[in-house]
Amino acid sequence: MNPHVDNMADILANEQFLQSEWPLSDNIPWRQRKPWQDIAIINLEPDDGLLVTHVNQTSGLLRTKGKQSLANENQTSEEWLTNHSLDHQNLTLQHLLTLCKIIMKKDEKDVKQLQLGLDVIDEFESKLQQMTDLYHQRMEWLMERSRKMFGLVKGSRVGVLIDSSDANCGLGRLQDFQAALLCLLDEQLCFRKQFYFLSFGSDISELWETPRDVNIRTLDEARQWVQDLRPSGSCNLLKAMKKIVKVRKLNSLLIILGSCPDQTAEILSDYMQQCILGRHLPIQTVAYDCSIHMTHVTLRSLAEASGGRYHLYSTGCQTQGCWSSDLEVLMKELQQASDILEKIQEIRQGLLGDTLHEVAEQITTEVAKIPPARFLPQPPNHDGPLCIETSSFLPKTSSDWLKQHGLKAKKLSLYQVLAPNAFSPLEEFVPILRKTVSSTLHGKRLGRAMSQFERRIDWLSTSSRKIWGNVCERRVIILVDISIYNSLHIIHIQHSLRLLLEQQMINKECFNLFVFGSDVKQYQPQMVPVTPENLQAAWRWVLTLECKGSRNFMSALKTATENNLNEQEDLCGMYLLASGIPDQEMDRVCSYVAEICGGRDLQLHVCLFSIDDNDLSGIVPARYATPGETACALQGLARSGRGRFHWFQETGIIESDDIHLLLAEIEKAANYSQKCAMLVESLMKRSMKQSQTSTDVGDGLKMLVKRENRYPQKLLTPKPMALSPARKQASGGSSEESSSAVRALTWHPHSAKVAIPPAHLNKKWIHSSVENHTKTNKTAKVSKSMFYTEDGNKIGAVYQKYPKMKNMRKTIPFVYLPKEEEICSTSAWLKKFSIKKLGLDLHKLVSSLDCVHTKQLVRSIRKRVSAKYCAAFPSVEINGVMKHLHLQLHELEEYIEQMQQTLSRFLQRLQWLLSGSRCLFGTILEKRVCILLDISGSTSPYLPALKNELTSLIWEQLRKGSHSFNLLCFAERVTTWRESLVEATDETCHDAVQWASGTIAHGNTCTLEALQRAFQFSDVQGIYLLTDGKPDSSCSLILKETQQMNEGRGVKIHTISFNCTDSTANEFLKKLAAQTGGRFHRCHGAVDGQLAAHKMLAGGFADEDNPNLPAFEGDDLKKLSREINKARRFLTQAKSFRHLLLEKQKKPDRTENGT
């Protein structure tokens, strides 16, 4: 509007204006008027019915106009809300609470209440209603004229990309599309400084080579160019983007798309991110009358990648004619205003007179400003200075400590004590040792060693070592996770750092502290010496920390190693305290850690602090993993950094490498002690029997003493300095009868006390002993050492390896299934992750030998009765056989948890198989493939949808998987895209999409000729045949010819049934795929399968029969759905078994006594 007209009210209100006199001119006579002039006032808004009938109504009219101007400001909604949001207008619930007065309750002096006047609430509600009306006016303005179709265009120099493909500018759409573009030109683009136009289909067409200034001539050229738009093939958006990013001086892009682009959203988004890196070029994307989901995903990703906005316009739905990022922001603000109004209504219901009756939460403005961490419980003297403790020794890792105090270091190994001589169980003088020894000496020393190990474990489980483990290096770098997921545990983290600084840092050389969320903060730029002043300053810095962001491990590790490490310095230890899995992929993090720790004296030790998932308060991590998966991943990270892993929670240590080594040493000592006790006991029994009778020697030592024959023979004493025949035989070494047993018989201990008579070689006995020894090694791996005893020619044996006893009771395994989908067939995938392979077959877990429920015949009563223990266990029927349920309640709980995780992973795999191009074509497995498409006349109604799916296949699987491929279309004759297989690049994929878009359905189905043409490619590995019915030739002839062509080549033919309801044709496709080792695929029931899988993942697995998966016919889907149904059946049975055990625990135990 003209500013002169706007100020009319001010002019009329000015009294001086009304009282002023007009100056007279000498040239104009008195009462003579000037000739009439027609003055045209421009920029007037249309009449909206608000007419002024009196001068006093002018101010009201101006206020109304002011509100409209506020709503019509030419800004994005985010920019507009900076001055008109509820927060900026002081209309949030927090601002309402600042208007309250805190009063003390009369009855109870310690109880505070909030007092709020009724007039304050009325005024606040009135302002809130005004802002709500203003938001509605803003939304109505955004949904008018060209803004409804294309959104609000921003930027002074705009580049416009227009989709002119056949799908968008085809018959029935072109005129409306051109009219909408002309409206955009006249209403928004005409107010820009410069603009640039480019249309794209199979090829691109630009109006000018460079951006032009906006004037009457360029506007006319743009209007004429829009009216000359014609359909131009497919939608090659990537080619248009490559062209427009080269055009300089543009500060905004407008992409108008009405069909599905040839490229995928990932390719377009990645390309645009790389091109606009370091350049501010926001992209506003518009989906014009397009309901294709892939188009919406592509445009959203482009807008988000560039910091632009997204707009959707549709002519088919009146209620949701348009939707955009601007409207979405306003809707959120409206929802917030609605919530505040509801709260005000609740406050009104609690009003009594002029005061607020009772407010449940006692909150003040000061309390609201306090960070949430201040409300967490704190240990005593949390904010006080450090109480630094000094240490009198240098700590060591358990591996280094065991080198000095382990069993081997103290010569307490069983085979170090049991020298080639076997000592008597009695105390007596041994000449070779020249002292009196006792057989119980080893047990006492082992007991003292085990006590020392236990004391060290207790020491490692206390104070800061419970959290950080044992910090041993002289140079220490500490990295702490303070992501938003640890916000409820910030006091624990600070207290952990306090204990570390107080107890383990004073004897170090230098240190530094790093904390990380999304960003990294460091205490000092470089490592500083360890002094009490530096430790106190570091603690004061720790007290200022706040949790925010996610877990950026890579940034923290890079920052810590860039300025704090030097290759020439001593060993440095990095201690990482984290509570979850990092944002980045673990393979990438582990590779980086292995690289930085490989070339220098650096070790990375990982400390995992387990927090409860319920404490996240709805915050979902960027990458979630179960506690077991997190521990496994971070343990691998510690192994990559040549460090130690430490896992703890508030209740204590769960796993620690230092403690694990000590427990293993204790277990080894216990094993040695048990073996020594068995040896002493057996020797004592033998000596007691020798004192009673000399004929029955050695009967009680069957495992340790082996005699030469059934009845001992008295051997002749050899001549002095002469070798016995057995020694001669052993010294020869060439006889076939020479064995370990013979060498044991011919060996003499170096003891002067024992005199051993010569031994005659019994070949028969030696041969039989060698055979027995060989047979024993085949059945059970047993290793033993032989030696002579002091009594005559008897032989003793000490077992070094014992046969392992088979445990008949089966345990519940821990299941880990990778989250990343593996590109393979379902058969190959189930070979690694089926229920049987994972050890979760419930029938096998319940059907061990101990679980058999049997009845035995009692002769006195001539009846079969159960054993006495049968009533102690519930009986269940497994495959028609009654079994005792020996699984305990916690084992069933663990099984149910593992089976639910497995079933969820199976359903995710099913959703993956039913998504994208895999839904129609299945999974492409081979690297060199040929795609055969049936374009006979029967496929005419479905050919456009088939072309879209083929486009998705080319970009989603062939291009992404770096395949080599070729396309064949067959109807009455065979048409090939290329003469050979070509590599999948951007250019070839685009060319393939363009070639396929020009195919027309016609004629018959020459399947045999298409297969013969595909087999002419010598390097083809897989053929994917898609058809909708029976071939023209005989099915048996095709099977026979295919078998002959494929002989010796091993080419797999995967058949795809597309909208085929003929059972004979489907059976032919199944036989053709089975004959060549391929797979049959049919996408029947894909929507129902997706819905059923989503319901199960969202609603749980409470019901085995609801929802039911559809009866898939394709090989991959059929096998996976069968495994899913099996898992659901096992899960239901496990829950029923758990119910049985719970009922058994409630009832008193009853035992059936047999008569």
- Predicted confidence (pLDDT) per residue in 767-798, tens digit: 444 344 444 444 555 666 666 665 556 666 66
Q: At what angle do helices 265-275 and 293-306 cross, to 10 degrees?
A: 20
Q: How far apart are the C-alpha atoms of 814 and 221, rounded to whole Å?
A: 71
- Among the residues of 792-940, which ranges form H helices? 826-833, 842-846, 889-913, 918-921
CA distance 420 to 744: 11
For 812, phi then psi, to 5°, come to -80, 120
Q: How far is residue 254's CA from residue 150's CA, in Å, rounded to a whole number?
A: 9
Query: 69, exposed or middle or buried, with CB in 10 Å at 0-12, 13-18, 19+?
Result: exposed
Q: Which helix (H) or strand (E) holds 514?
A: strand 510-516
CA dihedral 184, 190, 192, 193 (to 10 degrees): 150
Of 727, 1075, 1096, nearest to 905 by C-alpha is 1096
pLDDT of the residue at 354: 40
Torsion of Cα atoms, 69 then 72 then 78 then 84, to 10°: 30
Residue 224: HSE in the Cβ half-sphere, 13 Å Cα cutoff: 8
Tell me if 1110 sits within 8 A of 1092, measured CB to CB: yes
Residue 377, preceding peptide bond in cis (omega within 30° of 0): no
Contacts of 1001 (CB under 8 A, 6+ apart): 935, 936, 937, 938, 939, 940, 943, 971
Residue whose pair of structure tokens reads 């204990």 in the numeric block: 499
Task: Assess contact for 367 and 127: CB atoms under 8 A.
Answer: no
User: With b meaning 16 or more CB within 10 Å and e meaning fewer, what string describes 1021-1042?
Assistant: bbbbbbbbbbbeeebeebeebb
The pLDDT of residue 967: 95
The model's pTM = 0.39
Task: Note the pLDDT of residue 514.
Answer: 92
What letter does residue 954 receive in the DSSP assignment? Answer: I
- Residue type at position 601: D
For the chain, report the end-to-end CA distance as a whole number of angstroms: 111
Residue 577 CB partners (closer than 8 Å, separation 6+): 467, 468, 478, 479, 480, 481, 493, 496, 607, 609
Q: For residues 1091 and 911, what is the distance between their CA atoms, to the nearest angstrom?
A: 9
- CA distances from residue 309 to 300, 450, 717, 1041 in whole angstroms, order as listed: 8, 69, 106, 57
Where the chain has pLDDT below 70, the residues are: 1-73, 101-116, 316-321, 349-377, 392-393, 414-443, 563-564, 566-570, 612-622, 687, 689-810, 847-873, 879-880, 1147-1155
Helix (H, G, I), strand (E, B) or coil at 1003: coil
**SS3 state of residue 255:** strand
What local confidence, expressed as pLDDT, does residue 242 receive? 87
Distance between CA atoms of residues 165 and 203, nearest Å: 9
Place of tokens 């297989």: 981
- pLDDT for res 738: 39
Cα separation, 1058 vs 1027, whole angstroms: 6
CA of 325: how far to CAs of 139, 308, 431, in Å?
Answer: 12, 9, 96
User: How far from chain centre, in Å, is Cα 975?
Assistant: 44
Q: Does an H or E element contain 12, and which?
A: helix 8-13
- For residue 1076, give both structure tokens: 């060549």
